Amino acid sequence: MIIGIIPARFASTRLKGKPLKDIGGKPMLQHTWENAKKSKLLSDVVIAVDDERVYEVAQRFGARVEMTPKDLETGSDRIAYVAKKLFSSEIIVNIQGDEPFIPGKMIDEAIEPLLFDKNVAISTLAKRITNVDELNSPNIPKVVFDYNNFALYFSRSPIPYVREVASDKQKLLVADIYKHIGLYVYRKEYLLEFTS
């Protein structure tokens, strides 16, 4: 089985109560969950929460919800905590709760490498940056790939460094610079090893 898990922390460091922020009359988390449910490859979508308020709201809109300890350090730790309970799952998809507009099709595209190659343990998504504001925003993680499309590193600073260009706009014209999309797909055993 392929299970999507959405980690949703109420006490987000950058925006407290973020999962419950209203977007068009619905909580951000509900948008994320509804779009994840549009994936053709996910067998189920579970929301991993650390707060009763988020738990209650998610239950009201019909989600399967799992309570996790507040002291888990990362979203990956929260995902692994829930994944351990999902005995029949083989592939786990970490869908960030603050990705309310992620299309189900993109989730499926991230899953496919693990279906076609048993040696692939993890995959993610990235999109080319096309404007200077995204390039310079510390709120948008950037990713650099090698020639085989394996991620080398992630940063909130503009990467890679591009020599001999006069402006950030020129960087975008001469270099392929990518932003990370908030999604990771893991083989369950790799996720549990990675977070242990």
Length of the chain, in residues: 196
Structure confidence at residue 88 (pLDDT): 86
Structure confidence at residue 6 (pLDDT): 96
> What is the residue type of 58?
A
pTM: 0.88
Tens digit of each residue's pLDDT (9 = 90 or more) over 104-152: 999 999 999 999 999 999 999 999 999 999 999 999 999 999 998 889 9
Structure confidence at residue 143 (pLDDT): 94
Cis, peptide link before residue 141, omega less than 30° from 0: no
Residues whose CB is less than 8 angstroms from the CB of residue 176 and which lie 6 or more positions away in sequence, other chains included: 128
Domain 2-124+181-195 has CATH 3.20.20.70: no
Q: CA of 126: how far to CAs of 41, 50, 118, 121, 180, in Å?
A: 19, 28, 22, 17, 4
Tens digit of each residue's pLDDT (9 = 90 or more) over 152-179: 999 999 988 888 888 888 888 888 899 9
> What burial letters (b/e) apply to 125-148, b meaning 16+ CB within 10 Å?
bbeebeeeebbeeeeebbbbeeee
Structure confidence at residue 15 (pLDDT): 67
Structure confidence at residue 13 (pLDDT): 67
Backbone φ and ψ for 79, nearest 5 degrees, come out as: -60, -45
- Domains of the chain, residue spans: 2-124+181-195
Structure confidence at residue 174 (pLDDT): 85
Torsion (CA) 167, 172, 177, 183 in degrees, nearest 10:
110
Confidence of residue 67 (pLDDT cuts 50, 70, 90): very high
Structure confidence at residue 154 (pLDDT): 94
Torsion (CA) 31, 56, 47, 26 in degrees, nearest 10:
0
Tens digit of each residue's pLDDT (9 = 90 or more) over 14-63: 667 888 888 999 999 999 999 999 999 999 999 999 999 999 999 999 99
Structure confidence at residue 127 (pLDDT): 94
Structure confidence at residue 130 (pLDDT): 93
**Residue 120 half-sphere exposure, CB side, CA atoms within 13 Å?**
19
What is the rounded distance in angstroms from the CA atom of residue 186 to the CA atom of residue 196? 14
Q: What is the CA radius of gyration of the chain?
A: 17
